[in-house]
A and B are shown apart, each in its own frame.
Chain A
Amino acid sequence: MIQYIIRRFLYAIPLLLGVNILTFVLFFIVNSPDDMARMQLGQKHITEQSINNWKHQHGYDLPLLWNAEKQGETKITQTIFYQKSVGLFLFRFGVSDSGRNIGADIKERMWPSLALALPTLCVGLLVDVTFALLMVLFRSSYLEKAGIVLCVTLMSISSLFYIIGGQFFMAKILKLVPISGYDDGLAAIKFLVLPVLIGVFSGVGSGVRWYRTLFIEEVEKDYVRTARAKGLTETQTLFLHVLRNALIPILTGVVVILPLLFMGSLIMESFFSIPGLGSYTIDAINSQDFAIVRAMVFLGSVLYVIGLLLTDISYTLVDPRVRLS
């Protein structure tokens, strides 16, 4: 298994390099270093000299990918791509174009993202699985049909509606929670109740339908019939046998996104003023801060690779038949 993990990490290197090159090329197709300088320096009283100064200060006065004027390896090393990318592989994210240390910012901002995403995932999973099992329990009845109609209805509504509706109802009309904001430590709870509830509610429709499909597939298998024949109740059959056997596809969906929880939710963080990494990325894109965009895309890729690896490992834990080689 150790060999397998090492091999997967080695596979990740060209993958991350590719992602990095792609991000770099896409970014610089849209934005030139001059554009970046103008964005950072503002709109008033900008001269060519000040733009050149900015580029020099921030290392954007080099060629993008190939420095024809240099000799030997410096043709590659004396380029924006090399200078800005090498540190990433050592997790040295450097300084943003506005002068902030990106690593320190990420460390600070990943916790609010996690504080929102983790409870949303856990509660959402619990609710989705429970309701999916209940629908399977009442399969072929009017309750299941009503449940499916409800799920499709919930799926059809935009998540923005849930956010705005939730804020309107819970915070404005009932005045039970603050409409937006965030605080440190336990004080964060009152700010997280509403976004977590909305996050869970907005995902119920699709989540329940997905898990129901998994459980329906399982419930027709022979071992379930055997369990029933042994005299187990329907709830015991579902919760003890069906649920356990349906864990592999559930894990596929859940474990892979676990590391990405750090990356935050773009819309939710923005509407609820939660200072997480989702809003960090959006702000960076809007302000054409390549250093942050590059770091966040790289981090996202690394976390996704880790997520896939964790999924593979978790298979071996829930299903003894699976061996990694």
Chain B
Amino acid sequence: MSSFLSMKMQTYIIQLILLIGLTACDETQLNNPYLDNEGGLSVLYQSFSERPKHLNPAIAYSENEYAFIAQIYEPPFQYHYLKRPYQLTPLTASKMPEINYLNKQGEKIGQGAKDSDIAYTDYLIDIQPTIKFQPHPALAKNSQGQYTYHSLTPSQIQSLNTLADFKDTGTRELIAEDYVYQIKRLANPKLQSPIAEIMKNYIVGFDDFSKQSNDQVSADLKDIPMSGVTAINRYQYRIRIKGKYPQFIFWLAMPFFSPMPWEADAFYEQPGLSDKNITLDWYPIGTGPYLLAENNPNRRMILLKNPSFHDERYPSEGESDDKKNGLLVDAGKKLPFIDKVVFMLEKETIPYWTKFLQGYYDASGIASDSFDQAIQFTGNGGVDLTDSMKEKGIKLQTSIETSIFYMGFNMMDATVGGDSESARKLRQAIAIAVDYEEYISIFRNGRGIIAQGVIPPGIYGYAEGDKGINHYTYNWIHDREQRKEISEARQLMAEAGYLNGIDPKTNEALILYFDTTSVSIDDRPSMNWYRKQFEKLGIKLVIRATDYNRFQEKMRTGNEQIFIWGWNADYPDPENLFFLLYGPNSKVKNGGENAVNYHNIEFDHLFEQMRNMDNNEQRYQLIQQLQEIVRHDAPWVFGFHPKNFSLFHSWYENQKPNLMANNRLKYTRINTVARAEKRQQWNQPLFWPLWLSLIFFLLLLAPAFKAYRRRAKETVQ
């Protein structure tokens, strides 16, 4: 029996090997994670590591949410894709807004009026006619002109699982009321818009509307007026804000101010749909170049070209180098170029990086563990791709983010805070001692530039060269900044009353406390590095690592001493950075964004002057004064501005870093033929190691088989 079984088994094994071998001969790209046939569409493959929490434009506020909704929703304005410095341009608006200043009586006053005379500012926005919403069941109408799906019965809802289960879709023209309706939604307390509290301070009638609409069904919001926001006619609306706030225009380029048809709320708020997760937060409805065709953020999200998308053209102007870099080849052509965008969930960096190298992702960032594989430093301190990347035709693009990471001192703290000479010198000494050049080199693979002040490059007011450096921490020598010697820091310590870092109260090393959420073992090297920086001054740094919640609580109550914090600019204006140090924004006193609780009357006064000004020489000078005050007072150790490294395959075209625009996908073009060739070339499967392993395994089994046969023939002892 056993010999029969083994013969039969042998036959099966041989058949299986032949079958696998034959199948394998016909197959290429066995590792392809996508469908081979994309139906001739131009498809872009990207990844995301964290699922978006919200796709509702009134709520979404994070980068991973904007990656999707900025392609779907269209505010009236957008950032020009190619021009720098960043500038706004109409998107659905037909022109830039007409801005009128009004006095307390509501009468128009001239553009040159004093800020104190301006009681209100009107933004008159004209939108283009003939723009249409994407096809959507909420807009579907039957032959009698009634909405098909606005009165669903429980049994109808029972049979539904996704939005795709609705057979009919409809569309309609975008009108000014849709923008007005969305602003009302921002004010609706039920929606919890993150900018509601800010807008209360600016938009006239926003707060009153918020109170009135508290108990209202969302779709009914359209019938409640908001005094400061009115549709003048079908294609024009007006937003009235309190006083003068020039930065308001930047908010109008954010998805918060995208249009929303009231029908969307009427449709989605039907009882039972939310139980099926069919909500506006999950299935957007916009006018943008793409619509969300599949929303499964646990696996993938798919954007398809919106068939109703209006006529928008690739820009014809840009910076001087743009033409040379091939960025104007598509000038004047209709957008978007890509038919389908597939976002795959990729939580781990190793599979993500491997798929990029195999050509299954078109672009990639660079994680720390693959940095050396991708990047090499050139002799003059520059960066370049490694030879293996160049062989694949991969392109590198770097850009300085409009962000800042800094070390903050709690200005309410008795030791490091306050405006005393001693505390200031202590902070200045620490600013010299903490060598952020070394930090960038060790912990960020050189991906960052030293911050010399509050403003990152690319934002108005940023100064380069000798004039732009922090002279309290750096010297300008041989046309470059050089960190001051540690002896100067020690001198400052002595002047502050801490000779050799000794605290005169205890006659022992000064102890300072560093509050952080870096609790993992991976964070230990960086924490040790911080300790060593303070040791240069004889200071003993105690790391107080806590979880995120406790850390936030310490920040709110002012129980921290030194900490690391960061800010990413919402819009390209210095006001959005200097406000982090504006006294009335103190975190402890007013729950604002001034995390160090810095308060300087002169700074606050200059800030109030600067924030409402248009960009001109006077404003520039005010900005430099503000920088100088902060450098002198040193409530922050200016850390660094992160440098973003992105890799693109050779078939990825029209890519220019734009840190303000989130709707960049419509400009991207993919050479699908080149991609298919490269993928084929890079992903030929290897079978011989498998066969070798199998033979090795069989050879290992041979003595076992022999031993078994011998044992089976043995007589029982």
Contact = CB atoms under 8 A, between A and B. Distances in A.
Given A44-B593, A175-B683, A179-B355, 5 more contacts: A44-B570, A50-B194, A179-B33, A181-B33, A288-B549
Interface in B91-149: none
A251 B250 CA distance: 65
Interface string A281-317: 0010001100000000000000000000000000000
Contacts of B690: 174, 176
Interface in A1-60: 30-32, 35, 38-42, 44-50, 53-54, 57
Contacts of A171: 31, 351, 354
Contact of A174 (B189, B298, B689, B703): B689
A99 B708 contact: no
A254 interface: no
A273 B351 contact: yes
A103 to B, nearest CB: 8
Interface string B581-607: 000000000010100000000000000
Contacts of A272: 351
Given A38-B552, A175-B683, A181-B344, A100 B277 contact: yes
Contacts of B83: none
Contact of A173 (B35, B686, B708): B686
A272 B354 CA distance: 12
Nearest to B60: A42
B350 A143 contact: no
30 contacts: A30-B549, A31-B549, A35-B552, A38-B549, A41-B192, A45-B593, A49-B197, A50-B197, A57-B190, A57-B192, A98-B53, A101-B274, A101-B277, A104-B275, A104-B276, A134-B704, A138-B704, A138-B708, A138-B711, A172-B354, A174-B690, A175-B686, A179-B350, A181-B344, A190-B30, A233-B2, A234-B708, A271-B348, A273-B344, A275-B298
Contacts of B685: 174-176
A47 B591 contact: yes
Interface residues of B, number: 62
B62 interface: yes
B346 A180 contact: yes
Contacts, number: 157
Given A174-B689, A178-B31, A273-B346, A47 B197 contact: yes
B549 A50 contact: no
Nearest to A95: B274
Given A42-B61, A45-B593, A167-B350, A104 B30 contact: no
B31 A177 contact: yes
A283 B298 CA distance: 10
Among B277, B296, B683, max chain A CB count under 10 A is at B277
B41 interface: no
A18 B345 CA distance: 36
A164 interface: yes
A82 interface: no
B350 A164 contact: yes
A156 B689 CA distance: 25
A325 B711 CA distance: 46
B678 to A, nearest CB: 14
A45 B570 CA distance: 11
A280 B351 contact: no
B354 A270 contact: no
A50 B354 contact: no
Interface string B321-352: 00000000000000000000000111110110
Chain A interface size, as a band, is 35 or more
Most chain A CB inside 10 Å of its own CB: which residue of B30, B282, B548: B30
Contacts of B51: 283
A178 B33 contact: yes
Nearest to B190: A57
Interface of A: 30-32, 35, 38-42, 44-50, 53-54, 57, 95, 98-101, 103-105, 108-109, 134, 137-138, 141, 143, 164, 167, 171-182, 187, 190-191, 228-229, 233-235, 270-273, 275, 279-280, 283, 287-288
Contacts of A109: 298
Contacts of B151: none
Nearest to B28: A175
Contacts of B194: 41-42, 44-46, 50
Interface in B545-568: 547-549, 552-553
B348 A234 contact: no
A143 B345 contact: no
B646 interface: no
Contacts of B192: 41, 50, 53-54, 57
Contact of A105 (B54, B277, B350, B552): B277
B368 interface: no
The 6 A-B residue pairs whose C-beta atoms are closest, nearest first, are: A275-B298, A180-B351, A178-B33, A35-B549, A181-B33, A275-B299
B445 interface: no
B298 A175 contact: no
Nearest to A287: B53
Contacts of B358: 172, 175, 179
B707 interface: yes
